[in-house]
Amino acid sequence: MRDALLLRETDSGARKRARKEADKEKFGLAVEALACNLILLSAIKSGPKLAVPRSHGFLWRGDGGANPVYGQHFLSAIDGLASLGLIEEEQRGYRLS
């Protein structure tokens, strides 16, 4: 999945420069985390939605212990999955039920 999204990024012109290997690994980690959550949700019959943080304050915490899943690569993974039609963005905002 990671490689398909990286290829899509390159082919669509969404990304001008190649990612460094360490950045590819972070991107892959973000894709894996999203995929695992989506697989789990698909197993639940009630049709729950996945809410993901997109705020700068959450993704780039200054405490030095930031989760390696989050960052610009996480947002790029979300956009890539949406461009392939694998996920659909329904709503953005601060107070979602």
| 60-31-83-47 Cα dihedral, nearest 10 degrees | -100
The structural domains of the chain, with segments of one domain joined by +, span: 2-83
Residue 21's nearest CA partner among 67, 73, 59 is: 73
| DSSP secondary structure, 15-29, as one string | -SSPPPHHHHHHHHH
pTM of the model: 0.75
Would you say the C-alpha torsion 85, 87, 90, 94 has a positive or negative sign?
Answer: negative
Q: Reduce the DSSP state of residue 65 to 3 states and report it.
A: coil
Closest by Cα among 79, 70, 90 to 8: 79
Residue that wins the pLDDT comparison between 38 and 92: 38
pLDDT tens digits for range 17-74:
888 888 889 989 999 999 888 888 888 877 777 877 777 776 766 555 567 888 888 8
